[in-house]
């Protein structure tokens, strides 16, 4: 993977994360960055997925919700890493790895929110449904975007 593609994917994750922000009860926000993270992992592999997901999302949080940036770096980096494990995978694991990444992301956010002094258990529980929805939509959207992109590549 060329370094400039990693930079481009990272910026794309940051922009899609910032583009549409829908606030959720605990203080975070719902966004479409996860679609790009899953796509990056599936297309470019675990390293690119981890870099774009972790750094791109953390940079977006630094602009709007800086307290979450370290948690986001870990949560979204792991999402990208696991999505990237599915690259070139021929078994059913190509569907399972990104789903595991989404589940890990939700768990990291749950416990990360819980331990933040300003948030706590109530905020972690309040954010749980939205985080599960975001992980699910990120998985579905990222996989669909990857399929569409690969179909376009076949036509070239």
pLDDT tens, 105-133? 999 999 999 999 888 999 899 889 989 98
Q: Residue 4 domain-assigned? A: no
| Exposure on the CB side of residue 27, measured as CA atoms within 13 A | 21
Question: How many separate domains does the chain show?
Answer: 1
The answer to the question of residue 78 being in a domain is: yes
Rg from Cα positions in the chain: 15
Q: Is the pLDDT of residue 62 over 80?
A: yes
Lowest mean pLDDT among 23-32, 84-93, 147-156: 23-32
For range 141-156, the mean pLDDT: 94
Question: CATH number of the domain that 62 lies in?
Answer: 1.10.1760.20
Given a contact cutoff of 8 angstroms between Cβ atoms, the answer to whether 37 and 142 are in contact is yes
| 40 domain-assigned | yes
**Domain span holding position 72:** 34-155
Contact 29, 64 (CB under 8 A): yes
Asked if residue 83 belongs to a domain, the reply is yes
Listed in sequence order, the residues at least 6 apart from 51 whose beta carbon sits closer than 8 Å to its beta carbon are 6, 9, 10, 77, 80
pTM of the model: 0.92
Residue 103 resides in a domain: yes
């Amino acid at each position: 993977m060329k370094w400039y593609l990693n930079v481009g994917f990272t910026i794309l994750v940051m922009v899609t994360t910032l583009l549409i922000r829908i606030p959720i009860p605990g203080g975070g926000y719902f966004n479409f960055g996860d679609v790009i993270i899953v796509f990056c992992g599936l297309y470019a592999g675990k390293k690119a997925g981890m870099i774009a997901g972790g750094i791109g999302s953390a940079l977006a949080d630094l602009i709007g919700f800086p307290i979450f940036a370290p948690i986001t770096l870990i949560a979204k980096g792991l999402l990208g890493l696991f999505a990237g494990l599915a690259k070139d995978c021929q078994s059913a694991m190509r569907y399972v790895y990104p789903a595991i990444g989404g589940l890990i992301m939700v768990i990291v956010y749950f416990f990360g929110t819980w331990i933040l002094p300003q948030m706590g258990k109530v905020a972690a529980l309040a954010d749980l449904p939205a985080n599960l929805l975001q992980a699910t939509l990120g998985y579905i959207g990222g996989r669909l975007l990857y399929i569409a992109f690969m179909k376009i590549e076949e036509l070239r």
